């Protein structure tokens, strides 16, 4: 079985960038231009839905910035290839000297079991600079020891207890001392290696509410530095839900987040024709592929959802779907199994992924509108063959009975999914449909039908 998902590997991140496979290189360069011209402390939210490619984007941005920092330990030929892509861009940054920036990537979700986010954040910073910038571990052992001592759970209990004592000022001083140590640590990273520190925070919207809130607030309190830029890649709607789960449903999460984000940048959509090509789902003359794309457009699937959906469609319908191209519109089997596989099966699979409640209504004969919604996005003339000789879609044609697309779709739908003992073989337009076709569709959509394929065909 061919998997259409573009895995988040280092090689895919590099090759997708070098080939500009999804048309986002200019967006990377424009963002780099913004980072190149920031002079004060700044936090930026890169907003996008889950599965929209945010992690790909920030990792490619980091890769581009690293290639322009001579301190980064990397393959020189690889760096030159990365930098050369800017020459073909129309972005303003190509006319600037790109400042050396020390870039750190931090996966918040991967670390949300830690007691305190600042521990894992500092660890990520030190780990990155050791591996990418050859900084010596001994320079930071004392500082890390102080961080561990201060931010462990037992220490917080002692601090709380100390405020009940007669002299809490010593503990307050420790708060200030640790803040100063963090600032000193951050300042020592930059002078020789880079002009700024860029910290990419990813997957924050997937974290436990307590961890997400604590991470935001720790950064706000301890990482105020004119030489630091934070870039958060987030699904802002989901992050707001996370904040509300912590503070309550009546809490103004949007206003709360404005305290932390100085800029909000929406991740632009990808070039879909390039994206389809990058996952080897090319433009073809097959009707099945056109219906798949109509479903994707109707339900506005994310990039991750698209790859999963195409994989399921190919598994379920491949053996029967690729015998009829757009210029070969006739179906020959007496029950027209191929017709329903090509035109209805992708809708069922897409609906199951998009909205489970609507899917249940659809397969139980209660709602035919999903077919109508998809077919309105389908640029194909075959549906017109569902009308009889004495019917027409043209309201101006008074010599025949006027019918709508919805009328014919409903007629087909009721044969497939509405229980009626009178239905055996029913003719609609040029085709004969059997009541058993609905059961065949459901078996195929469950991916356990006998003719499910695990082999990919790349017919054109």
Residue spans of the domains in the chain: they are 10-266, 281-445
Q: How far is CA 41 from the centre of its chain?
A: 28
Q: Where are the alpha helices (DSSP H) in 223-344?
A: 236-247, 253-258, 272-278, 287-299, 303-321, 337-343
> Residue 325: is it exposed, middle or buried by C-beta count within 10 angstroms (0-12/13-18/19+)?
middle
Q: How many CA atoms lie within 13 A of 224 on its CB side?
A: 7
Contacts of 170 (CB under 8 A, 6+ apart): 162
Report whether 453 contacts 315 (CB < 8 A).
yes
Q: In this predicted structure, which of 48-62, 75-89, 161-175, 355-369 has the lowest mean pLDDT? A: 161-175
pLDDT tens digit string along 118-135?
878 887 887 777 666 555
pLDDT range class, residue 249, cuts 50, 70, 90: very high
Q: How many CB atoms lie within 10 A of CB 337?
A: 19
Per residue in 273-309, pLDDT tens?
Answer: 888 888 888 767 788 999 999 999 999 999 989 999 9
Check pLDDT > 50 for residue 456.
Answer: no
- How far is Cα 259 from Cα 276, in angstroms, rounded to an integer? 39
- Please report which residue ranges of 134-250 form alpha helices under DSSP H: 138-151, 153-163, 169-193, 209-222, 236-247
10-266, what's its fold? Answer: Rossmann fold (3.40.50)
Closest CA relative to residue 22, chosen from 232, 268, 265: 268
Q: Are 21 and 278 in contact (CB under 8 A)?
A: yes
Residue 338 confidence (pLDDT) above 80: yes
Buried b (16+ CB within 10 A) or exposed e, 188-215: ebbeebbebbbbbbbbbbbbeeebbbbb
Residues 6+ apart with CB under 8 A from 305: 51, 353
């Amino acid at each position: 079985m061919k998997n259409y998902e573009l895995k988040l590997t280092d090689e895919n991140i590099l090759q997708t960038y070098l080939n500009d496979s999804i048309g986002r290189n200019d967006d990377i360069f424009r963002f780099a231009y913004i980072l190149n011209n920031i002079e004060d402390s700044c936090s930026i939210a890169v907003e996008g839905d889950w599965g929209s490619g945010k992690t790909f984007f920030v990792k490619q941005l980091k890769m581009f910035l690293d290639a322009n920092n001579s301190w980064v330990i990397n393959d020189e030929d690889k760096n030159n290839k990365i930098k050369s892509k800017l020459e073909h861009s129309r972005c303003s940054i190509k006319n600037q000297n790109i400042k050396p920036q020390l870039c750190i990537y931090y996966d918040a979700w991967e670390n949300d079991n830690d007691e305190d986010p600042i521990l894992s954040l500092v660890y990520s910073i030190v780990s990155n600079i050791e591996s990418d910038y050859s900084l010596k571990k001994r320079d930071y052992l004392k500082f890390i020891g102080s961080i561990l001592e201060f931010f462990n759970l037992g220490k917080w209990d002692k601090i709380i207890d100390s405020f009940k004592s007669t002299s809490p000022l010593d503990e307050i001083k420790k708060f200030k001392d640790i803040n100063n140590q963090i600032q000193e640590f951050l300042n020592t990273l930059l002078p020789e290696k880079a002009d700024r520190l860029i910290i990419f925070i990813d997957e924050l919207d997937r974290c436990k509410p307590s961890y997400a809130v604590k991470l935001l607030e720790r950064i706000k309190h301890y990482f105020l530095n004119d030489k630091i830029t934070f870039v958060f890649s987030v699904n802002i709607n989901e992050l707001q839900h996370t904040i509300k789960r912590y503070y309550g449903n009546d809490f103004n999460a949007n206003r709360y987040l404005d305290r932390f984000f100085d800029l909000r940048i929406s991740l632009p959509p990808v070039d879909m024709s390039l994206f389809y090509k990058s996952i080897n789902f090319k433009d073809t003359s097959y009707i099945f592929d056109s219906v798949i794309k109509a479903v994707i457009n109707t339900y506005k699937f994310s990039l991750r959802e698209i790859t999963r959906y195409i994989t399921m469609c190919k598994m379920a319908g491949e053996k029967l779907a690729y015998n009829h191209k757009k210029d070969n519109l006739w179906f020959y089997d007496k029950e027209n199994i191929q017709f329903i596989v090509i035109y209805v099966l992708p809708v069922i699979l897409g609906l199951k992924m998009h909205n489970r409640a609507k899917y249940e209504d659809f397969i139980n004969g209660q709602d035919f509108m999903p077919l109508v919604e998809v077919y309105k996005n389908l640029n194909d003339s075959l549906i017109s063959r569902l009308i009889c000789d004495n019917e027409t879609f043209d309201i101006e044609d008074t010599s025949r009975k006027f019918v709508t697309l919805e009328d014919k779709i409903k007629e087909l739908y009721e044969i497939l999914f509405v229980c009626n003992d009178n239905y055996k073989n029913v003719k609609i337009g040029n085709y004969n449909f059997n009541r058993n076709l609905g059961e065949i569709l459901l078996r195929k959509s469950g991916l356990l039908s006998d003719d499910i394929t695990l082999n990919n065909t790349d017919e054109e």
